[in-house]
Amino acid sequence: MSASELTAATLETIRQNDLQDGYIRLLVTRGVGSLGLSPDSCRRPSIIIIAASIALYPAALYEKGLNMVTCATRRTAPAALSPRIKSLNYLNNVLAKIEAQQAGAAEGVMLNEQGYVAECTGDNLFILKGDRLYTPPSTPESSKV
């Protein structure tokens, strides 16, 4: 599928779902083939376009804020799975979300393998300190603030 065909298919999916303000997720799988880990048996990838509205939290929490806890479950290490690959491997995030919920919190803060703040289970994290905005760095080397 060419870039223009993918754009057209995405726009058509949005139109078919009558979406004005929402969420688009493009999934590319290795396609149909035999079971196993080797992608060699798959002749062509499958493309799935999801268009939906999304509300992670009740509206009141966007005004009031939400309770958070630091989770024991760590973010997947870049050496284990390259952060350049956006996959649907959310198992560690799901486990951390369960941890947060069991602690009575709406969200959990996940640490990286060095113990520094990485992200939340389903959200990016920003801190406003004075007039500066901070977010976790993309590499461990830049975590010295």
Determine the Cα–Cα distance for residues 43 and 111; give it in Å rounded to an integer: 39
The catalytic position among 86, 97, 129, 144 is: 86
Determine the Cα–Cα distance for residues 72 and 123; give it in Å rounded to an integer: 17
Q: Return all residues near 30 (Cβ < 8 A) that are at least 6 apart.
A: 39, 42, 45, 46
CA 110 to chain centre: 13
| 86 among known catalytic residues | yes
CA angle (31, 88, 24) in 5-degree steps: 85
- Best CA proximity match to 110, nearest among 98, 96, 94, 99: 96
Residues assigned a catalytic role? 86
